[in-house]
A = this chain, B = another copy of it.
């Protein structure tokens, strides 16, 4: 194989994959080569533009650290993460809709007893979250694992705060009770820009896009026999609901915060005045039987 030009190089690269022993690797590699070459042939990059793309990808990788995943941000802001999410969650319509995990999930969050406050460092407006987890037939799922995480009232996650604050905050794991319920206390999260001091922020700038996500609380829900669900619940009224920079908003995931009069919540929990209530009913799909 030699003498490659614009007309024959794509086939030459495809031919070079003929010794690939793993069918899925070969399928992905071939598709990558075809689509990547089609992209390059369409835009006909100058050599300076190609060098700019190399530099952009290099900076993106070098921006990644234990608390920052710039390539996930890139995938999120190009709509790829939500596309992959949709492809992997072709569930019945009456189960809870899914969204991306996002770059702020932490596996090692702490277990809390139901009802615990999970925000130690923020003095933002009080939030009471009351959730219920059911199967698609309306039966409560007992002992489901709830992982939840969210930003504070200034729009920052724990991992984005200055050093000196508690390492993990506003994130917790709970298990549902005998009626499939869980509840916890925290602070009302604010809308926030995704970290935009890196290459992805520069890309959004160049594309004329703002970096904001509407206010939301993340949930990951899992229980034996059911599909694991990763989702957000968004707060109604947020100005960014129609322009979420990562394309995550679905109407069925938006809930109106209720204000309390400082007495007892619908779930029967005592609340101080001005506490906002976020309630949501999650429905997990059954795992397909083999």
CB–CB B208/A45 < 8 A: no
Say if the beta carbon of A41 comes within 8 Å of chain B.
yes
A13, B79: Cβ atoms under 8 Å?
yes
> Given known contacts A2-B251, A79-B12, A86-B9, is B61 in contact with A59 (CB within 8 Å)?
yes
Q: Which of B69, B79, B85 contacts A58 (CB 8 A)?
A: B69
CA A57 – CA B57 in complex, angstroms? Answer: 8
CB-CB under 8 A for A54 and B41, given A1-B243, A62-B61, A209-B19: no
Please pick, from B28, B75, B242, B243, the residue contacting A43 in the complex, using a CB distance under 8 A.
Answer: B28
Size class of A's contact patch? Answer: 35 or more
Contacts of A208 in B (CB 8 A): 17-21
As for how many copies of this chain the complex holds, the number is 2
A249 contacts the other chain (Cβ, under 8 Å)? Answer: yes
CB–CB B4/A79 < 8 A: yes
Task: From the candidates B2, B29, B207, B242, name the one contacting A242 in the complex (CB within 8 A).
Answer: B2
Q: Whole-angstrom distance between the alpha carbons of A130 and B105 in the complex? A: 61
User: Which residues of A are in contact with B by a Cβ distance under 8 Å?
Assistant: 1-6, 9-10, 12-13, 16-22, 25-29, 31-33, 35-47, 49-50, 54, 57-62, 64, 69, 71-72, 75, 78-88, 206-209, 241-245, 247, 249-251
Given contacts A1-B242, A13-B247, 20 further A-B contacts (CB under 8 A): A3-B251, A4-B79, A6-B87, A9-B247, A13-B79, A16-B245, A19-B207, A19-B209, A20-B206, A25-B207, A28-B45, A35-B42, A40-B87, A50-B75, A50-B84, A57-B61, A58-B69, A61-B61, A61-B64, A62-B64
